[in-house]
Amino acid sequence: MTELTAALSAFKSEAITRLGANHVLEGNEAARFEHDFWNQYSGKAACVVQPGSTEEVAAIVALAARHHIPLVPQGGNTGLVNGGIPDASGQQIVLSLERMNRILSVDPAGDTMTVQSGVILAEIQKAAEQADRLFPLALGAEGSCRIGGNIATNAGGVNVLRYGMTRDLVLGLEIVLADGTVLDLLKPLRKDNTGYDLKQLFIGSEGTLGIVTAATLRLVSPIRERVTLWLGLSTTEDAIALFGHLRGIFGDLISSFELISSYGVEAAITQLSGLRRPVAEPWPWHVLIELGWSFTEGLRERAEAVIGTLFEEGRIKDGTIATSEEQRAMMWRIREGQSEATSKIGYVVRSDVTVAITDIPALVARCESWVGEFGNDIALLPFGHIGDGNLHMNFVVPREKASDLAPPLLERLYSEVDQLQGSISAEHGIGRAKRDMIVSRKPAAALDLMRKLKAMLDPDAILNPDVVITRPPKR
């Protein structure tokens, strides 16, 4: 038995003593924690531990620290950059937060909610709604992602335009540090400038600097009248111009402004059941827009008047306003269902980039100009939150060519993004998938500071050690 095997064995037996045998999983029971939702990445865990309280998380982290065993924190396992599953070594331990799923308190008067980190996002949304409030973080995976993972990855989603990223919705955090210390920063105050805002360090750090065990979230006013528009357009330039025009009229009442390609719409309505195109024609581009306010009436009339003018002025080709919750749901199902639909057609090479809003047409045009060079059987699947400059420029490729084509396609895409001074990860994070890609893209002083933070907060490399940033090169 090697030293490491002995350490793993000791860890497991002590973890069983602390958590109970039913909360230390191996073999088949561990399997679902070892690969991502889309089965694009997989690894092998020494075991999966499922602490049920902050004290148990702290005890497990202290135990891992004592045995020098790396932990991989995992929430709902819906990440897309291989940051929440173990590597292939079989020597990392998954620390699942699934059991930490209690809503601890809701304070509608103060517009806050305090939750454990394993609560599913949709349940937080529901609890806010029951208190006549809105928790505005919303994304495709909301039915299975967990808030700790949203916080650890600073998740974005479809409402960033109005409400910001996850970071903007976090008022307080409870963190377990790499030595097992509990850092309680859970104050539910809107304003608290008493020293460095330490919680910011952990938001978006992908489980590499500390483990989120609880959070106080900011709630916002409920939306009592919502208007959902689906418009057909000829070009991406028209979409960007339309965004500027509508933003000028509706201001921050616009919560979502989603661009969808004809390919994405047709894939969704043909591959998924019960969907039909909201407008008659298969326009080259479609936008899905959502407006809302706290009043109960009056916005729809304003929207109708504006849409009428847009038609008259030729700014849009076609368009409709959802007249029922079913219609609205179908529009969103087309938007969110593109990934599932295209996964039935081929392998989806995913990306998540930001450029300046006005550079979106250029980015799409450039990719369209060269995608054929990689083969005639590759489809471009761009969609995204263009009000934030964030495009998921995906490629649908024949399954058998996926491993050959994915790296060069992404390399070409990222070089376009670099030329436009954009970001190669808008909202998905770095994980392992993009870890080495940021090294050449970030200033040396930034990488140096990232490494120093990692070394300071996790000197023994216990927390997700091969994710986001590697240790400083040995000299």
Question: Binding of its own copies at residue 203 (CB under 8 A)?
Answer: yes
Q: Which of 453, 460, 461, 470 binds its own copies (CB under 8 A)?
A: 453
Shortest distance (Å) from residue 169 CB to its own copies:
11
148 forms part of the interface with its own copies (CB under 8 A): no
For the chain, give the number of residues: 475
> CA of 186: how far to CAs of 41, 94, 198, 323, 371, in Å?
34, 25, 11, 42, 48
Q: Which of residues 299-358 bind its own copies (CB under 8 A)?
A: 302, 354-358
Q: Which of 84-92, 247-255, 372-380, 404-412 is the region at the interface with its own copies (rule: CB under 8 A)?
A: 247-255
Q: Which tokens hold the place of 323?
A: 């007249």
Show contacts with its own copies in window 364-423 (CB under 8 A): 385, 388-390, 421-423
Six-digit token string for 475: 């000299």
Can you say how many angstroms the Cα of residue 117 is from the centroid of all Cα atoms in its chain? 15
Residue 330, helix vs strand vs coil: helix
User: Whole-number minimum distance, CB 221 to its own copies, in Å?
Assistant: 3
CA dist 244 to 48, 315, 356, 386, 403, Å? 48, 12, 13, 11, 39
Instruction: Pick between residue 50 and residue 153 the one whose CB is nearest to its own copies.
Output: 153
Q: Over the Cα atoms of the chain, what is R_g? A: 23
Cβ of residue 340: shortest distance to its own copies, in angstroms? Answer: 23
User: Contact region for its own copies (CB under 8 A) — 4-12, 58-66, 95-103, 440-448?
Assistant: 440-448
DSSP readout, 242-278?
HHHHHHHHHGGGEEEEEEEEHHHHHHHHHHSTT---S
Determine the interface stretch with its own copies among 32-40, 85-93, 184-192, 308-316 (rule: CB under 8 A): 184-192
Options 64-72, 160-168, 256-264, 401-409: segment touching its own copies (CB under 8 A):
160-168
Nearer to its own copies, 275 or 438 (CB): 438
**Partner residues linked to 226 by β-bridges:** 292
Contact 112, 188 (CB under 8 A): yes
Smaller CB separation from its own copies, 50 or 166: 166
Reported as type and span, the H/E element at residue 170 is: strand 170-176
The residue (of 265 and 424) whose beta carbon lies closer to its own copies is 424
Binding flags for its own copies, 248-287, as an x/- string (CB under 8 A):
xxxxxx----------------------------------
Measured from the CB atom, is 34 or 427 closer to its own copies? Answer: 427
Q: Are strands 254-261 and 225-233 parallel, antiparallel or unpaired?
A: unpaired
Q: Does 54 bind its own copies (CB under 8 A)?
A: no
| C-beta closer to its own copies: residue 191 or 276 | 191
Q: Which of 51, 79, 264, 429 binds its own copies (CB under 8 A)?
A: 429
Of the pair 123, 179, the CB lying nearest its own copies is at 179
Using CB under 8 A, which residues numbered 95 to 114 contact its own copies?
107, 109-110
- Of the candidate residues 140, 222, 284, 361, the single one contacting its own copies (CB under 8 A): 222
Q: Contact 326/255 with Cβ under 8 angstroms?
A: no
**Helix axis angle, 3-19 to 54-67, nearest 10°:** 160
Contact of 96 with 50, CB cutoff 8 Å: yes
Exactly one of 2, 22, 193, 273 binds its own copies (CB under 8 A); which one? 193
Cα–Cα distances in Å, from 331 out to 9, 40, 163, 276, 335?
51, 27, 21, 9, 6
For the packed helices 262-271 and 325-343, what is the interaxial angle rounded to 10 degrees? 90
Among 5, 9, 181, 415, binds its own copies (CB under 8 A): 181
User: In terms of CB distance, is 10 or 241 closer to its own copies?
Assistant: 241
> How far apart, in whole angstroms, are the C-alpha atoms of residue 261 and residue 345?
16
Instruction: Yes or no: say if 209 and 202 are a contact pair by the CB < 8 Å rule.
Output: yes
> Per-residue contact track with its own copies, 7 to 46, x per CB under 8 A?
----------------------------------------
Binder among 17, 105, 130, 200 for its own copies (CB under 8 A): 200
Could you tell me which residues come within 8 angstroms of residue 32 by beta carbon, excluding any fewer than 6 positions away? 77
Give the pairing type, strands 285-293 and 254-261.
antiparallel
Residues 290-309 that bind its own copies (CB under 8 A): 293-295, 298, 302
Collapsing DSSP to helix, strand or coil, 241 comes out as: helix
**3-state SS class at 205:** coil
Say how many residues touch its own copies, by CB under 8 A: 86
Phi and psi at residue 116, to the nearest 5°: -75, 160
Nearer to its own copies, 2 or 296 (CB): 296
Listed ranges 42-50, 66-74, 196-204, 405-413: which one lies at the site for its own copies (CB under 8 A): 196-204
The CB-of-284 to its own copies minimum distance in angstroms stands at 22
List 398's β-bridge partners, or say none.
none
Using the rule CB under 8 A, which residue among 258, 427, 458, 466 binds its own copies? 427
Candidates 20, 244, 407, 408; binder of its own copies (CB under 8 A) is 244
